[in-house]
């Protein structure tokens, strides 16, 4: 990218850091993105990492732009390899315009001859300040210098970041960032590097949060006051975030001994009047399926955050996939209604998780929030949520002496009481039961209760979230997607600059909105994009619309889609 002619991405730069677990890549990521946002740059970051504490290869992508950026790209504009073998690992993503900066000997022989390599020995510079621990701060400063961005706001952010440390540590880091910055500026000037990143002062007032934090905040906004889970990546960050802020929101957070206990405790919490959440991943949820059936039989609300990762079994525990849709849809023995939400943006994850608690309470059914590893670990700057119209909707009643928990009703929803709130007895049973909640084997009552529970589905269908149409109304081609791939597909389709192609994104995947058939029928060519091997959502749409989406772009190697990857595949199909 040296010189004006080679730098084709002056206002949209993709930086990738790659190194071993334990080398502090996350520190560089957090420092750099925080500094960039503080200076008024739009930022996006996501990561991929191996299932190990030390060693191996982890990488982080940071995109910087003068306009909002919301998706991962395969392209690397600046690569910072931090250990031997990093360049070889990134080889498929390196092109002739990639700038590589780092230490000679980290595998530069593996890259194409025309690649530009600028040597900066971060450790050597850090040792001159006092310790190699300042290497990461040197790297941050060097990148800022190469990009031609200011240093003063970065220094201010650095002081905030290390505010809990001693004055000596803050001072040494300040020296380190200035030393790195000087080196970066020197490289930029001597090699005529020119970038064109315009500042947007509105960005400074925005939030910089990831998917996990947005889900946690949405749960708090929905009145969640009980969280019980067993840690399992990639869902653990939600549990950790909510534990960190439990006192701010008067929430009980409990790490159970296993997933079975977590599910049953949360069902019990709703029975007692709390609004509970379990956050887990596929393998953990598999253990919860009996508890899911219990909540259905008790007609007890529950909210389940299911962060997907590749299976079967342990699979790829730190990678991403959209392959648990059918698990959530069909889990649990017996027949009962449920609701499946799957946000596509950080904003949606906040509002939909909030909504999940109201839906669960209203319909007395399990509500799923489906995300995945990519979504959990992705963050970008976004507006603060509008809280003015958010309400915590509670549907509890005060019981009297004649209260019957499962009293038959026209719409299938019985008034829900809780123990101690009123004079009535709130009796529930995991066996089939009569209207008072007492165990029964009466065949007619059994049918009445099954019909009662299933009636709710028709009522739920009246409140299904309509899929989002992005693009021209008069489309001929329709790209269909759900969940976390929304922003990736959106950027890909926009880059095609076609006025005949639109996107249909589903943030609620079950029940399927009745308008889905209308949207699909209007398209001459339909293309499904989803992160699994068998087209699970395409299959679900076929069941409910009788329309088969023949063209499919599927990915199931454990990595998320890239927008430029989707662009290429769509170009061939269109």
Predicted model pTM: 0.95
pLDDT at res. 4: 36
Domain spans in the chain, listed from the N-terminal domain onward: 3-205, 208-382, 468-573
- Alpha-carbon distance 548 to 529, whole Å? 14
- How high does pLDDT run on average in the chain? 94
> What percent of the chain lies above the pLDDT cut of 70?
97
- Band of pLDDT at residue 110, cut at 50, 70 and 90: low
Residue pair 529/482 in contact by the 8 Å Cβ criterion: no
Given a cut of 90, is residue 21 above it in pLDDT?
Answer: no
Average of pLDDT values for 385-411? 96
- Band of pLDDT at residue 82, cut at 50, 70 and 90: confident
Supply the DSSP string of 41-85, one letter for each residue: -EEEEEEE--S-SSEEEEEEEEEEESS---S--S--SEEEE-STT
Q: Which residue has the tokens 């662009």?
A: 567
Average of pLDDT values for 358-368? 98
Do the domains 208-382 and 3-205 match in fold?
Answer: no
Q: Which CATH architecture has domain 3-205?
A: 3-Layer(aba) Sandwich (3.40)
**Of 77-91, 282-296, 327-341, 361-375, minimum mean pLDDT range:** 77-91
Taking only the tens place, the pLDDT of each residue in 315-360 is 999 999 999 999 999 999 999 999 999 999 999 999 999 999 999 9
- Alpha-carbon distance 169 to 131, whole Å? 11
**Exposure on the CB side of residue 283, measured as CA atoms within 13 A:** 16
Q: Which CATH architecture has domain 468-573?
A: 3-Layer(aba) Sandwich (3.40)
- Band of pLDDT at residue 3, cut at 50, 70 and 90: very low
pLDDT at res. 112: 63
Given a cut of 50, is residue 16 above it in pLDDT?
Answer: yes
Taking only the tens place, the pLDDT of each residue in 428-460 is 999 999 999 999 999 999 999 999 999 999 999
**Of 74-83, 96-105, 352-361, 546-555, minimum mean pLDDT range:** 96-105
pLDDT at res. 52: 85
pLDDT at res. 299: 98
Average of pLDDT values for 532-542? 98
**Of 88-102, 169-183, 208-222, 235-249, minimum mean pLDDT range:** 88-102
What homologous superfamily does CATH list for 208-382? Thiamin diphosphate (ThDP)-binding fold, Pyr/PP domains (3.40.50.970)
């Amino acid at each position: 990218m040296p010189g004006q002619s080679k730098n084709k991405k002056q206002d949209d730069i993709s930086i990738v850091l790659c190194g071993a677990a334990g080398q502090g890549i996350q520190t560089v990521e957090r420092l750099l993105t925080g500094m960039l946002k503080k200076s008024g740059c739009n930022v996006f970051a996501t990561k991929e990492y191996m299932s190990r504490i030390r060693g191996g290869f982890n990488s982080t992508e940071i995109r910087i732009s003068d306009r909002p950026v919301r998706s991962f790209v395969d392209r690397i504009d600046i690569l910072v390899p931090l250990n031997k073998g990093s360049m070889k690992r990134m080889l498929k993503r390196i092109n002739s315009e990639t700038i590589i900066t780092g230490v000679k000997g980290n595998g530069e022989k593996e890259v194409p001859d025309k690649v530009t390599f600028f040597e900066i020995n971060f450790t050597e510079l850090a040792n001159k300040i006092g310790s190699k621990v300042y290497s990461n701060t040197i790297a941050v400063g060097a990148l800022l210098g190469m990009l031609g961005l200011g240093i003063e706001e970065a220094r201010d952010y650095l002081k905030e970041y290390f505010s809990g440390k001693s004055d000596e540590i803050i001072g040494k880091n300040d020296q380190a960032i200035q030393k790195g910055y000087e080196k970066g500026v020197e490289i930029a000037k001597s090699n005529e590097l020119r970038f064109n990143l315009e500042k947007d002062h509105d960005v400074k007032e925005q939030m910089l949060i990831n998917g996990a934090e947005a889900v946690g905040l949405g749960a708090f906004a929905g009145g969640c006051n009980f969280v019980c889970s067993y840690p399992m990546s990639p869902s653990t960050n939600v549990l950790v975030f909510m534990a960190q802020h439990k006192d701010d929101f008067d929430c009980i957070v409990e790490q159970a001994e296993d997933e079975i206990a977590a599910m049953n405790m949360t069902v019990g919490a709703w029975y007692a009047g709390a609004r509970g959440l379990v956050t887990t991943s596929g393998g953990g949820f598999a253990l919860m399926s009996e508890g899911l059936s219990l909540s259905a039989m008790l007609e007890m609300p529950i909210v389940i955050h299911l962060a997907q990762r590749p299976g079967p079994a342990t699979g790829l525990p730190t990678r991403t996939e959209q392959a648990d849709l059918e698990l959530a849809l069909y889990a649990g023995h017996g027949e009962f209604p449920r609701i499946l939400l799957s946000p596509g943006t950080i904003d949606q994850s906040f509002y939909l998780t909030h909504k999940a608690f109201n839906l669960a309470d209203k319909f007395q059914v399990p509500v799923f929030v489906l995300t995945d590893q990519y979504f959990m670990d992705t963050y970008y700057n976004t507006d603060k949520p509008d809280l003015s119209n958010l309400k915590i909707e509670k549907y509890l009643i005060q019981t009297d002496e004649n209260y019957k928990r499962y009293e038959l009703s026209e719409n299938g929803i019985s008034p829900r009481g809780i123990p101690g709130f009123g004079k009535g007895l709130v009796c529930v049973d995991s066996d089939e039961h009569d209207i008072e909640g007492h165990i029964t084997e009466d065949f007619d009552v059994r049918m009445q209760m099954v019909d009662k529970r299933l009636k709710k589905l028709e009522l739920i269908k009246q409140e299904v979230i309509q899929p989002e149409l992005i693009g021209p109304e008069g489309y001929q081609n329709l790209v269909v997607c759900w969940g976390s791939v929304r922003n990736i597909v959106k950027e890909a389709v926009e880059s095609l600059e076609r006025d005949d192609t639109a996107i249909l994104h589903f943030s609620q995947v079950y029940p399927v909105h009745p308008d889905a058939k209308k949207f699909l029928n209007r398209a001459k060519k339909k293309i499904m994009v989803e992160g699994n091997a068998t087209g699970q959502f395409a299959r679900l749409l076929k069941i409910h619309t009788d329309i088969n989406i023949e063209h499919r772009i599927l990915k199931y190697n454990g990595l998320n889609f890239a927008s430029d990857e989707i662009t290429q595949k769509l170009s061939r199909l269109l």
